[in-house]
Every structure is written in structure tokens, then in C-alpha cells.
Structure 1
Amino acid sequence: MIQNKKLFGIATILLLISIVVSFPYFEENPYGEEMIEAFGFSIMTVSGLNILALIGFIIFLASTYFLFISLKKYQFRSMLVAILIIVFIPSALVNLYQRTIATGIYALHYNEDQSYCEYETVDTSTMHAICELPFKNYSNKDVAFQIEFYGHYRSNGVGINSVMQHNQPYDAVVHANGQRNIRIEMDITLSEEDINFDSGSSTSVPVIIKSGDNERKL
């Protein structure tokens, strides 16, 4: 079935590289983005294009091309398998690890789609905020950690997360093999920059969780 082992080897290496670039590594951003940003390089252009995603896609296309010309038959079946690998394997590996041997904050699953914050101005200088953040702990031990908010700004440049950052970090605990909606509720004194803040809500809330030297951006 393989007519050129050298080209098949190149296809395999390129496929592995594209998997590494897109590997989520327990973060909101793929592992490749985390590595590049750690060296101070921006992954976005002025137009908003994700450079790393483009590079990863080009590498994947190259891998499928070399895979196609390296085989005598079953080329399209093999390309379909490669597509399924790049789509499902990275997230499946993270999910398997998290459900089996992960410990601490790496055993926590954050359901961002069901998270939300509601806020209401009490007076011109005070805001009352309530956030519900659903977490599930897959480990056999309680996990204590801290929560910080980031990003998620409104169109006027001020968002619920920017205001909630005033009093962070927030302490939390999820019991062993347990699921918990962590509720954060407090009155926050608004600064002059936030004085025009009004009532509203925010969904799919991005957070950072920390425990000791470990940190995850979700």
C-alpha cells in the first residue's frame, strides 16, 4: 500500500506537528499558541488573522498531500483518517487524562458555556455582582484553587470581568469527584473609569484558575 516510505514518513511527521500546534493542553488556547506567546510573539495580525492557526492548517494540508502521493491505494480513506485524527485526537487525549490520572486544577473541567455573571448598579459608585461558574472535579481529592477574571469586555471598553478584577482572586473548592456551581457575589466600588456602568449580564465567562505555581486559562 505504501509506495514511498520516505514521503509517508514526512506525512506522519507533519501530521504530528499539526497535532502539537493545535493541542489544547488544558488551556483555552492551543499549546502552540501558549509556546509562541511565551516567547513574546503575537499570533494575531492587525486584521485579526490567527497566524498560528493558518500555519497549522498549511502544515496539515502538506501532510495530507505527502500522504496521498506516498500511497498506492486507499489514498482518500487515509486522508479521511488523518482529518479525524487532527479533529478528535488532541481533545480526546486531554479528556482521557483529565478523567483518569490528572490531579489538582488539571482534574477540573470548567463548563464555560453554562457560566454567567449578572450585575446591577446599586448607586452611582457601587455595583452588586453575582457570577455562577460550573466546575467538575474528576479526581479523588478535593481541589482548592483561586479564580481570576480576564478579558470579555463590552463594546464601550468596560466589561463585567474588568470590574470583577478589582477584588480578585476568589478562593474556591470543589470536592472529590464532585460538581459545583461556584457562586461569587459581592458589592464592588466603581472607579471613575467605570462610573457609567449600568445593569446587565455576561455569559461564557473566561477565567484563570490557580493553585500554587500551577495556572490554567479557561
Structure 2
Amino acid sequence: MVRNKVALIGSAVILCVCMYLYFPFPDNEMIDARSTFMSFPISNQDGYNMLGIFGSVLFIIAMILLVRGINKYHFRTIVIALFGYTLLPVLLITMYQETLADGIAAISYDGKGTCHFEHVSEDVLNGECNLLLHNRSSEMVSFEIEFLDSFFRDDDIRMESLMNVNGPHSITIEANREKSIQLKELLNLSDVPNHIFGGTSMNIHIKLIDGETTRVL
């Protein structure tokens, strides 16, 4: 089945390099991506991301070497490699968080949080955000949450980050526990320019803050 060991080894090495370039820990490297390929941000608010493009090219080269390194089962091998490349970082992060990590390094987020803003008056909104966090360590973790705008609008109108007006929001999660976070705030935005007047946002991004340590999820 193996046709070229050098090609197979080269493919494995290049895939490891690709995974290292944008490994999704401790921060979410895709937060400001506008177009992506696999785990690589091709473009963001500043234009094309050359490192992301370089990583994409490396990934394609790795797939070509993988195909050249085996005699048969090409399609099946590529599918397995794609699944492995996608799932391995998640497994490695989970293993680390459940064994060696402490503090906010042990906090995981499913990325499915939502924020809803309802108009009350000209400069007043009702804001509500819901998200699920998991403390995978064996110790209680306390930290602050800062909300980040999920994407960059051309007119720089603020949305999710409006919840920070009434911040900081302090959270404590017991050891080995999931916690559903629900924050409801009456937001006075009279001193905040370029804000929305209502709406809903899905898959929100957040920053965890513990003293000098931060994580972007």
C-alpha cells in the first residue's frame, strides 16, 4: 500500500506545521476571518492574510504528497486525513484542559452564544446575552468576561461589545462543571457613538480576563 515513504513522512510533517500555524488555543485565531480554508483565515478586515494563504498552499501540498505516498485507497485516505486534521486539535485541547490546565486555560466555549438587544428609548437598550462555558479543571475558576464584536462592519457600528458598558462581568465556575451564563443589562448608550438600535447576534465572541492573562474565544 505504501508507495513512497518519503512522501508520506513529508505529508505528515507539513500537516503538523499547518496545524501549528493556526492552532486554536489559547485564542481563537479565526475570530476576524472573512474567508477561510480549512483552519486558515484567507482574508480579514485588513485584506488578504498572507500567512493563511501560505498555510493553505502547504496543506494542499501535504494532500498531494499523501496521495503520492500510497498505492490505493486515495479517496478514503484523504477523507480520514481531513477528519483527523479537524478533530485532533479539539482532542488535544480537551486532554490538556482536563489534565494540566488551570485558570482560564481550562475554560472551553462551544461558540454558540447569542446576544439580543431591544430598543427602549433613543439611547437606551435592553441587552441580553446567553452562552455556555465549561470548566474542565478540578479547581474553581473565577474570571471576567468582555464581549467582542463578532465581525467588522464597514461603518464600525458596535453591537455585542455594548454589553461591556455595564461591565466588567465577573463569573465563577465550579470544578468540572458546565455553566449557562445569562446576562441581562439595561444599557445607557448616551456616551457611546455608532451603536445599534436593536437586533440579535449569533455565535458571539468573548474575551476571558484573569489579571494579566486573557483568552479570546
TM-score (norm 2): 0.77
The AA in structure 2 aligned to 1:140 is: S
Cα drift, residue 203 of structure 1: 2.5
Match of 1:129 in 2: 127
Q: Partners in 1 of 2:14 and 2:129 — Cα distance?
A: 43
Cα drift, residue 16 of structure 1: 1.4
Cα drift, residue 213 of structure 1: 2.5
The AA in structure 2 aligned to 1:146 is: E
Structure-to-structure mapping, 1:18-57, within 5 angstroms: 18-29=18-29, 44=43, 49=48, 51-57=50-56
Cα drift, residue 27 of structure 1: 2.6
Q: Partners in 1 of 2:189 and 2:26 — Cα distance?
A: 33
Match of 2:93 in 1: 94
Match of 1:117 in 2: 115
Q: Partners in 2 of 1:23 and 1:139 — Cα distance?
A: 21
Q: Give SS of 1:44's match.
A: strand
Q: Partners in 1 of 2:196 and 2:117 — Cα distance?
A: 9
Aligned residues: 206
Q: After superposing the two structures, state which structure 1 stretch, 78-87 or 45-54, moved more.
A: 45-54
Gaps of 5+ in 1: 34-41
Structure-to-structure mapping, 1:152-191, within 5 angstroms: 152=150, 157-191=156-190
Q: Partners in 2 of 1:138 and 1:204 — Cα distance?
A: 21
TM-score (norm 1): 0.76
Q: Does 1:145 align with 2:143?
A: yes
Q: Give SS of 2:7's match.
A: helix
Identity score, percent: 25
Cα drift, residue 174 of structure 1: 1.0
Cα drift, residue 148 of structure 1: 0.6
The AA in structure 2 aligned to 1:109 is: S
Instruction: Give the aligned CA root-mean-square deviation in angstroms.
Output: 3.1
Query: Which is strand-richer, 1 or 2?
Result: 2
Q: Give SS of 2:24's match.
A: coil
The AA in structure 1 aligned to 2:181 is: I
Match of 1:212 in 2: 211
Check conservation: 1:145, 1:172, Cα contact below 8 A.
yes
Cα drift, residue 14 of structure 1: 1.2
Check conservation: 1:144, 1:174, Cα contact below 8 A.
yes
Per-residue Cα deviation, 1:84-130 (whole angstroms, up to 9, x for no partner): 322221222112222333221122122331x2223333332332322
Q: Give SS of 1:144's match.
A: strand
Query: Which is helix-richer, 1 or 2?
Result: 1
